[in-house]
Amino acid sequence: MISIDKEERPWGRFFILHDEPSYKLKRIEVDPGQRLSYQYHFGRSELWLIIQGSAKITIDGVEKTYNVGESITIPVKSKHRVENHSNQKLVFIEVQHGEYFDENDIVRLKDNYGRID
């Protein structure tokens, strides 16, 4: 049996599907009406593919809505956030690529849940 790590967050949850030295794969679920922190990373870029729902994504202050089948790349050090304004769960696959994938590489600039560093 394959072991998949799951972590609950105030906005939903994520599942680590695969973890290698040069990349990591996650399934991220954002509950209705929730959003992740406005953040950036020093050690990785990210590619997001929407597989369920609709996402309002902000990158460096520019907002755009993405739907099922659409993807977006977030370069290293780009400020970004994903929001779920719908009444259904938002699900996307995140591919992290770079040199460092630990959760402590998150620099939070704005956060609804009091997690500013």
What's the pLDDT at 53?
98
The reported pTM is 0.92
The dihedrals phi and psi of 103, each to the nearest 5 degrees, come to -65, -20
Q: What's the number of CA atoms in the CB half-sphere (13 Å) around residue 117?
A: 11
Closest CA to 31 of 110, 113, 88: 88
**Where does the pLDDT of residue 104 fall: very low under 50, low under 70, confident under 90, or very high at 90 and above?**
confident
Q: Is 91 left (phi over 0), alpha (psi -120 to 50) or beta?
A: beta
Q: Output the six-digit token pair for 81.
A: 């956030």
Say if residue 1's pLDDT is above 50. Answer: no
